[in-house]
């Protein structure tokens, strides 16, 4: 379920915060984290972010993958990289969704998972 490198992070919430920091540092737009662990067995957290263009969406994905690989946490699977309108990155109990604005508006994951608990992101997370 977890990759061996996850031992660097105590649990999926720590991995979630690490990914959020990476995305924030790379100027992701409208970052959100949803706790979905009570609603599905697919994951504990969904991270949702947008990029300003297809190039930005790809660079956000590349940065997350590179930084977590440096920590010994490889991605299990990536979907949608070639079209880069919606990239899904599977890190076991943390799933990262990186969208273009139009795709995010169309699929509206926040609405689909409106029963999930949204994690409040404040300056403390990004310090």
Please give the domain boundaries of the chain with CATH numbers for all domains: 4-121 (3.30.460.10)
pLDDT, residue 120, reads 83
Structure letter (DSSP) for residue 82? T
The neighbouring-strand residues paired with 36 are none
Closest CA to 46 of 94, 13, 12, 86: 94
Mean pLDDT of the residues in the chain: 90
Note whether 83 and 20 are within 8 A (CB): no
Rounded to an integer, the average pLDDT of 97-116 is 96
In terms of pLDDT, which residue wins out, 100 or 5?
100
Listed in sequence order, the DSSP H helices in 1-127 are 12-25, 54-70, 101-107, 109-112, 123-126
Q: Which two tokens stand for residue 25?
A: 């540092």
CA distance 9 to 58: 25
What's the rounded Cα separation, in Å, for the pair 119 and 65?
A: 22
Q: 86-90 and 77-79: which strand pairing? A: antiparallel
Q: Residue 4 — very low, low, confident or very high, per pLDDT cuts 50/70/90?
A: very low
pLDDT band per the 50, 70, 90 thresholds, residue 126 = low
């Amino acid at each position: 379920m977890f990759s061996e490198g996850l031992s660097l992070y105590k649990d999926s919430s720590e991995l979630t915060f690490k990914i959020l920091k990476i995305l924030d540092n790379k100027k992701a737009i409208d970052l959100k984290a949803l706790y979905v662990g009570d609603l599905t067995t697919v994951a504990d957290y969904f991270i949702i972010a947008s990029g300003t263009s297809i190039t930005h969406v790809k660079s956000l994905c590349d940065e997350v993958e590179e930084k977590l690989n440096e920590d010994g946490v490889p991605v299990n699977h990536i979907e949608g990289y070639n079209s880069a309108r919606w990239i899904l990155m599977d890190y076991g109990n943390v799933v990262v969704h990186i969208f273009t604005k139009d795709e995010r508006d169309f699929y509206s994951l926040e609405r689909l998972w409106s029963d999930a608990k949204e994690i409040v992101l404040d300056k403390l997370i990004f310090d």
